[in-house]
Amino acid sequence: MIPAQFDYAAPATLDEALSLLAERPDDAKILAGGHSLIPAMKLRLAQPALLIDIGRVKDLSYIREEGGQIRIGAMTTHYQLESSERLREICPLLPECAASIGDVQVRNKGTIGGSLAHADPAADWPAAIISLRAELVAVSSRGERVIAADDFFVDMLTTALRPDEVLREIRINAPGGRTGQAYMKVHHPASGFAVVGVAVSLTLGADGKCSAAGVGITGVATKAYRAAQVEGALVGSTPDEQTTASAASHAADGVDANGDIYASADYRRHLAVVYARRAIAEAVAKIK
């Protein structure tokens, strides 16, 4: 219940935070919403020597539209995303995914950036971010770089962020045309994390055929992944019941799935297929 001691800094600017991090990249940790880090610290599973609280850095919490993209500040809370009317219009997957995270209190405080940077294999955001082919903006005192969502998640609790980097922004190309989206999830009965979570963003062309598809899956493996075979089977086809089912059947192809007392690897793979089909069907159903 009681974390180990640490030094604490609450810089007012990102530059300040980055230079602090650059000084102690090995034993410092960035504190965002704290909803992954603080529980780990209370169980003393994490014992950072320095905590850099970016909660006071200005302009890290926003939802903007810029250059045809949706730009989300890393410190934007799940609740801000869940309750954004604008996002509900232009990219409903984001509020839908946000609403399925944890509980009200967690969503009020937890942030999208914190969740992504923590890279819990059962977290919800990675599925959405992958399905939307988001870009993640990492910044360090050395400068800024953009990481594709597909490259961002490296392994369990491991991202492509370098020790001196902070995730600053998430960029999403606003889906155009006739797009439908859905996030469907099996909640773990205790933790509320995703046993399996499937995010789908699917666009139809004028001919009624799928012109673009993004399918991200979390909870199944050590990291969230893109179900590329599912996407491939969807693009160019008419997503009717049969096509959807046959596309979804590839949701866990070649995936080394996790097993635990709640759900074995086989069952997780099965759930991935079922939920992929359901999420695709729901996404299609939502297309106006």
Partner 1 sequence: MKKAVQINVNGTTRETEVEPRLLLVHYLRDVLGLTGTHVGCETSLCGACTVTVDGQAVKSCTMFAVQADGSNITTIEGLAHDGELHPVQEGFWERHGLQCGYCTPGMIMAAAQLLERNHAPTREEIRHGLEGNLCRCTGYQHIVEAVEYASKAVNREP
Partner 2 sequence: MARYVGQRVKRTEDPRLIKGLAHYVDDIRLPDTLHVAFVRSIYAHARINGVDAGEALKAPGVVAIFTGKDVSEKIGPVPCASALPELKVPDHRVLATDKVYFVGHPIAAVVAADAYAARDAAELLMIDYEELPAVVNAEEAAQGGAVIHEQFGSNVAYKLTAGEGDIVAALASADRRIKQRIINQRLAPVAMEPRGVLARYLPGEQELTVWSSTQIPHLLRTQLALMIGIPENKLRVITPEVGGGFGSKLNVYAEEALLGWISMQLGRPAKWIETRRENMQATIHGRGQVGEIEIGCKADGTVTGLRYNVVADLGAYHQLLTPAIPTLTGLMLSGAYKIPAIQINVTGVFTNKMATDAYRGAGRPEATYVVERAIDLVAAELGLDPVAVRRRNFPAPEEFPFKTATGLFYDSGNYEGALAKALENAGYERLREEQRAAREQGRIVGIGVSTYVEICALGPSQAMPAGGWESATVRIEPTGTVTVLTGASPHGQGQETSFAQLAADELGVDMGDVTVVHGDTAIVQYGIGTFGSRATAVGGTAVFVAIEKLKEKASKIAAHMLGTDAVNVVFAEGVFSIKETKKAAAAAGDGKAADADSDEVPEPVVPVGEGPAGALPEPETEGRKKVSIQEVALAAHLARELPPDTEPGLSATYFFEPKNFTFPFGTHIAVVEIDRETGEVKFQRYVAVDDCGRVINPMLVDGQVQGGIVQSIGQALYEEVVYDEQGQLITGTLMDYAVPRAKMIPWFELDRTETPTDVNPLGVKGVGEAGTIGATPAIVNAVVDALSPFGVRHIDMPIRPEAVWRIINSSDE
Q: Which residues bind partner 2 (CB under 8 A)?
A: 1-2, 4-5, 43-44, 186, 188-191, 261-264, 267, 270-271, 274
Q: How far is the CB of 49 from partner 1 (least distance, A)?
A: 12
| CB of 68 or CB of 189, closer to partner 2 | 189
Out of 19, 34, 90, 287, point to the residue binding partner 1 (CB under 8 A). 34
Is 154 one of the binding residues for partner 1 (CB under 8 A)? no
148 lines the binding site for partner 1 (CB under 8 A):
no
Q: Does 104 bind partner 1 (CB under 8 A)?
A: yes
CB of 144 to partner 1, least distance (A): 26
Q: How far is the CB of 193 from partner 2 (least distance, A)?
A: 8
| Least separation in angstroms between CB 93 and partner 1 | 19
Sole binder of partner 1 in the list 18, 79, 170, 203 (CB under 8 A)? 79
27, 65, 105, 176: residue in contact with partner 1 (rule CB under 8 A): 105
153 versus 275: smaller Cβ distance to partner 2: 275
Q: If you write DSSP's letter for every residue of the chain in order, what string do you get?
A: --PPP-EEE--SSHHHHHHHHHH-TTTEEEESS-TTHHHHHHTTS---SEEEEGGG-TT-S-EEEETTEEEEETT-BHHHHHT-HHHHHH-THHHHHHHTSS-HHHHHH-BHHHHHHHT-TT-SHHHHHHHTT-EEEEEETTEEEEEEHHHHEEETTEES--TT-EEEEEEEEPP-SEEEEEEEEEEPTTT--EEEEEEEEEEE-TTSSEEEEEEEEESSSSS-EE-HHHHHHHTTS---HHHHHHHHTTTTTT------SS--HHHHHHHHHHHHHHHHHHHHHH--
